[in-house]
Every structure is written in structure tokens, then in C-alpha cells.
Structure 1
Amino acid sequence: MIAISCLRGSMLRLGTRSIHHSILSRERGGASTDYRMTKIRLAFLSLLAIPAGLIAAPAANWLSRVAPSSIGGHVLGNPAASTKLVEYVSYTCSHCAHFVREASEPLRARYVKGGKVSVEVRNAVRDKYDLAAALLARCGGPGRFFGNHEALFANQDAWMEKLIAYDKDATKPAEEKAALRDIGQKTGLYALMAKRGFKPAQLDACINDPASMKQILAMTDEAWNKLRIGGTPAFTLNGTLVQGSDWTRLQAALP
């Protein structure tokens, strides 16, 4: 009420001539304002007249799109990509670690980001140590997978050194899940995952997850027994096995 009263009082103090002069001033200044507003409206209407197809939409960046596949792999990129690359890897494979170091960046930047190629990672487990790492890579769900996957390979030399010493120790748990947890705890795998923000209870749960175990074993069976890959890494493009296991040969096969 105070603000309204003040406004009303100031208007009442204006005489007739003062009010008339104020209105005329606004009318004179308004001519140029109206002209500018007309130009703005015309420019806006001209934009509306452009067909929607001629206005370039921002290019999609597919690097943040991760989804599980039906067999349990993890797909990075455009699910409708015309070229679908599947990588079969083993976490205890030094050639796989070399491939990931060499190929991940150019593969993502040149092929996945723009949506023409999707990349799916599947397991081709070779031993119990590889199985423990594969289970841990899945911790945190699809959104955490590729970070875990690359961290395991980037630190492979360190945890494999501890693994070799561990393998010589005869005192290991007999029960499967206990044995896998023991591997994680004593080879540096749990320590590595702890640096990525996972607590021991979470890591135990990942090792114990029956659904993850089933999917990893299904992918492993597909790799070794159905596709009959000769080793890791191995690749398929749209379902066809690629000859060769290095980035140079794979890149030559990409569109």
C-alpha cells in the first residue's frame, strides 16, 4: 500500500500541462523505439520462415551413452550406429592392456563420438584372476563400467605383480566366492577399486553377484566355444570376426 500511495501522490501533483508534456515526450521518443522493435520482429519472423531442416542442430556426443547389451556386455555410443564393434577382452591379458592404451582415445574421438560406431566390451575369461577382475569391473553399474575397465588395464602391471606372488601361496580358500574375494583383497584389486570410491562391502557384493557371474560366463562361452576366438583381444564388426588382434588391423577394418 505504501508503494501504491507514493506513486498515486506523485501523479496527482502533476498539473495538466505537465502530464501532457510527459505524454508527448514519450510519444516523440517512442517513434525510434517502435522502428527498432519492428526490425526485431521482422528478423524474428524471417527466422521462423526458415525450414526446420535447414537449421543445423548441435551434433550429438555419444561418449556419455553407456547401456548393457542382452548378453551382459557394455555398449558405448549410439545404439543405432551402422557399425557395431564388439571387443572380447581378458583382464590378465597384456595384449588387451596394450590395445586399450593405444586404441581407446582414437576409437572414441574418430568413430564413437559422432555416432557412426558403437563399441561393446565383452568378457573372454581365461582364469580365476581374470574372473575376479571382470566381476569388479561391473561395480557401480553401466555408468561406472568403462572407468573401471580402463583403470584395471592401466594398473595391470602393478596388480599382476602381486598376483604372481599370490599364486605361489598354497593357502587359499576352497569355496569359489571366498576364493575370488581373497584374490581381490590380496592382489591389489580391492585397493585399486577403493581409489575409485568403492567400499569393501560394495566390492564383496560385486564378487558375490550371481547375475554378473552368469553374464560373464555366458560371454566367455560365446567367445571361446561359439566364435572360437584364437586369443584376446578379439573383435567382431557387425557380427563378423575380424582377422587380427591389434589396433592397426582393426582400424583398417573400420568404415
Structure 2
Amino acid sequence: MPFTRVVLSLLALMLMQGMAHAAPPRDWTRAVASSPIGGTIMGNPAAPTKLVEYVSYTCPHCAHFVADASAPLRSGWIRGGKASVEVRNLVRDRYDLTAALLARCGGPARFFGDHEALFAAQQAWVEKIMAYEKTPSTLPDDAPRAAVLADIADKTGLLALMAKRGIAPARSRQCLADPKAMQAVLAMTKEAIEDVKATGTPSFVINGTLVDAHNWADLAPLLPAPQK
């Protein structure tokens, strides 16, 4: 075989081997971390588009958004590194606060799964809130806030829901009594109302700007074109 053909054959073989051993593109949906304010971020920290979602767990519009947007956001924007998504709280009542603390209980790595599970079961546990409101409390009037939240979680089925997700009731009660977690959730709520000027949930900020969108159909056109 002529020398030139041998060299070309070797180069072709090396190129094929290099392609075979090339690392696959990084899946940024696996990158999850806490933000400085206490939210939870999924995606590339250096993504050119940074989406922040302000949600309330008792908000039916938020449940619809999570059901509609979670899969397309992951596949079209987050996985390839085009966008990151951060979830922050804008709590509306003590029931929302209870769910927000439980969503954080498993840490950042578990957050998005638990967050979506709470919304998926929202109708069931919100219906139990109605009964809870009508039933006289067995707690003393001066009961600590953690005891009140634990009672809510127990009577509305949230403890049972989290147990199915692998978080034992005792651990959930610890999370409901965690002052740092409480401070983070309330700080995000204060920021959303006072600084961001969010007037409802869900509300969205893209690269630092509050946008006029409250559902996936309105938000999607405001994002860059998705990756194919």
C-alpha cells in the first residue's frame, strides 16, 4: 500500500476512535443547586437565559404551569444549557408555607421531583384544607408555629404525600420547624412583593426583568428559540 494511503488510513482510524470516545453533551437538567436567596436552580449557571419562577403551592394556575411547562423547558432549553430555571416562593397563606417548607425538605437534588409531586396532588390536599378550616383546632391558642404547620401537614395529607416520596414524617416535622428554611421562604416572598413587584402567581423574571406572562402559553414566546 502506498505510504500516502497508509497515512490517510491511520488518520481516518484515529478520527473515528476519537469520535467514538468523545464525551456526550452534558445534560444540564442534572445540575441542581441552591441560589443565594434560597431558591433552587436547575441548569447551566452560565446559561444566557435565566428564568426565575415565583410560585405558590396553593395556586391552581401554578399547578397548571408546572404540568404544562416542566417537560418542554427541560428538553428545549435546560438540557442543552440554553437556559436555567430557578424556583422561588411567594407564599400566600399558612398552607402554602407548609407545602413550601416540605418541598425543600429533601434538599436541592430532590427538590424538583417533590415540587412537581406537590403540584400534581394539589387538588387532593387543597380539598382537605376546606375540612381543616371547618374543624375546631385541638392545638392551644399559643401553639408554636412549627406545631401548627405540622398539624396542617398531618391533617391535609401532606405528611403522607411526602412519606410516599421517601421523606419520613419525623423528617418532615423537622423541616417544618427549621428556622433557616422558614427565613429563606419568607425572604423570597418579601423580595417577590417588594422588589420584583410581582402581583400574583405564577410570575416570571427573565434575565432580571419581570415579564407580562402568567402561564406557559404566554411565557414560551418570550424565551429564545428552543434547541432541536
TM-score by length of 2: 0.88
The runs of 4+ residues in structure 1 deviating greater than 6 Å are: 39-42
Identical residues among aligned pairs (%)? 58
The gaps in structure 2 that reach 5 residues or longer are none
Question: Which residue is 1:184 aligned to?
Answer: 153
Equivalent position amino acid for 1:107 in 2 = L
Residue of 111, 123, 126 corresponding to 1:145: 111
Deviation at 1:44, TM superposition (A): 5.0
Displacement after TM superposition at 1:41 (Å): 9.0
Contact 1:73/1:120 (8 A) holds in 2: yes
For 1:142 and 1:217, how far apart are their aligned partners in 2?
18
* Corresponding position of 1:98: 64
TM-score by length of 1: 0.79
Q: Are 2:195 and 1:229 aligned?
A: no
Q: What is the alpha-carbon distance in structure 1 between the residues aligned to residue 35 and residue 146 of structure 2?
A: 25
1:167 counterpart (119, 133, 136): 133
- The residue identity in structure 2 corresponding to 1:96 is C
Q: Tell me the equivalent position of 1:212.
A: 181
Which residue, out of 70, 76, 92, partners 1:110?
76
Letter in 2 for 1:238: N
Q: Per the alignment, do residues 220 and 172 of structure 1 end up closer, same or farther by CA in structure 2, a change over 3 Å counting?
A: farther
Select the structure of larger CA radius of gyration.
Answer: 1
Equivalent pairs counted in the alignment come to: 216
In 2: Cα distance, 1:49 partner to 1:195 partner: 49
Cα displacement string for residues 135-179 of structure 1 (whole angstroms, at most 9, x for unaligned residues): 000111100100100000000000011111101123153321100
Which is helix-richer, 1 or 2? 1
Alignment of 1:1-255 (within 5 A): 43=9, 57-173=23-139, 174-255=143-224
Q: Give the conservation status (yes or no) of the 8 Å contact 1:172–1:179.
A: no
Letter matched to residue 84 of structure 1:
K
Is the CA contact 1:172–1:182 (under 8 Å) kept in the aligned structure 2? Answer: no
Distance 2:66 2:10 in 1: 50
* Cα separation, partners in 2 of 1:40 and 1:165, compared to 1, 3 Å: farther
Q: Which whole-Å CA distance do the structure 2 matches of 1:199 and 1:40 have between them?
A: 65
Cα RMSD (Å): 2.3
**Aligned with 1:78: secondary structure?**
coil
CA displacement at 1:107 relative to structure 2: 1.0
With 58-67 and 69-78 compared, the bigger mean Cα shift is at 58-67
**Superposed displacement of residue 99, structure 1:** 0.5
Q: Deviation per CA, 1:97-156, whole angstroms, max 9, x where unpaired?
A: 000011111111111111010000000000000000000001111001001000000000
Contact 2:77 2:83 in 1 (8 A): yes
In structure 1, distance between residues paired with 2:27 and 2:134: 47
The structure whose RCO (Cα within 8 Å, separation 6+) is larger is 2
> Structure 1: any 5+ residue segments left out of the alignment?
1-34
Distance 1:189 1:41, change over 3 A: farther
How much has 1:45 moved relative to structure 2?
5.4
Give the conservation status (yes or no) of the 8 Å contact 1:162–1:187.
yes
1:64–1:77 CA contact under 8 A, matched in 2: yes
Give the corresponding residue for 1:20. none
